[in-house]
Amino acid sequence: MVAGMLAGAVATAVLAAGGGAVGADAPCYEMRVGARFSPPTAFIPSSAITYDTKLVPAGSSIEVEQRGGPGDMAVTVRVKGMKPGHAYGVHVHQKPCGADPAAAGGHYQHHVDPEQPSENPAYVNARNEVWLDFTAGGDGSGEASARHGWEFRTGGAGSVVLHREQGGAGDRLACFTVPFAPVG
Ligand SMILES: [Cu+2]
């Protein structure tokens, strides 16, 4: 797992053939991708971009896993090298990352708020979106998981964004482009 993270953008997607016979606990979709953060000005562009190297240092790393079956999806994020003790807000966003922190668009929403950008708490919450907030431990590592009874729409989710604060908003510190897909 660590080797995959060090290698940069390494994606593995495993699709079981003929999902009908798979047991309830056996995921029929699993995707894992990892990368090291670098600034948008880096000579070699990374799929993981940091906009704030104080809170998300260059060289810190992230790994995102998506797994599940129809109507049951789990997303997990693991990080290393963050600022110890800092409480990061983290969500799945709609689009891939760019040099501009705004490139990732808004949060992925299961029920899409007709008013965008969405600020309505009926839509902006951890049940309707994928929130992966974590507080970095003393060694700078962190982990969070979210499980939902729904799955991403094709092309609807493109990144994981780290924010300065928890609770749904705040400055964008970093962004990791992730090839999310429907799990069913
Ligand atoms: Cu966000």
Task: State pLDDT tens for residues 37-92.
Answer: 999 998 888 999 999 999 999 999 999 999 998 889 999 999 999 999 999 999 99
Residue (of 48, 50, 73, 52) closest to 63 by Cα position = 48
Give the pLDDT confidence score for residue 25 in this predicted structure. 58
| H-run or E-run covering 77 | strand 72-80
Q: What is the average pLDDT value for the chain, to the nearest integer?
A: 87
Q: Is residue 11 scored above 70 in pLDDT? A: no
136-147 burial: b if 16+ Cβ within 10 Å, else e:
beeebbbebebe
d(CA 132, ligand 1 centre) in Å: 9
What is 2-15+34-177's CATH topology?
Immunoglobulin-like (2.60.40)
d(CA 18, ligand 1 centre) in Å: 35
d(CA 144, ligand 1 centre) in Å: 14
Peptide bond into 117 cis (omega under 30): yes
d(CA 175, ligand 1 centre) in Å: 9
Order of strands, sheet of 72-80, starting from the edge strand that comes earlier in the sequence: 10-15, 29-36, 61-69, 72-80, 142-148
Q: Is residue 20 scored above 70 in pLDDT? A: no
d(CA 104, ligand 1 centre) in Å: 9
d(CA 106, ligand 1 centre) in Å: 7
